[in-house]
Amino acid sequence: MPYAIQTRDKPGAGAIRAANRQAHIDYLTANKHLLLAAGALIDDDGSGGHGGILLVDTDDRAQAERFVAEDPFTKAGLFEQVTVTRWRKAFFDRERLI
């Protein structure tokens, strides 16, 4: 059963996000085999970035926690909060699974 990782940036950390964005994207690309989905939380007008959601395809909580701990955004101190929660796929890729 996968894990959902939700992150929230520290207030006023836009410069940290911008400075580490490419390293973060490179990290996700290198580890895309573990991702069901990933993306930034943005404003309704499509601007900004103030956190994110990662759906990590692992049954191992420690692996999910390591995944986010090794993210360049985490290492740069971007996040105010990180939540790792087991996630049950009920509907996925337009299909009902339960």
Which domains are assigned to the chain? Answer: 3-96 (3.30.70.1060)
pLDDT along the chain (98 residues), means of 10: 97 96 98 97 90 97 98 98 95 88
- State the pTM of this model: 0.91
Can you give the pLDDT at residue 92? 85
Over the chain, what HEC string results? CCEEEEEEECCCCHHHHHHHHHHHHHHHHHCHHHEEEEEECCCCCCCCCCEEEEEECCCCHHHHHHHHHCCHHHHCCCEEEEEEEECCCCEECCEECC
Can you give the pLDDT at residue 68? 98
Can you give the pLDDT at residue 84? 98
Can you give the pLDDT at residue 3? 98
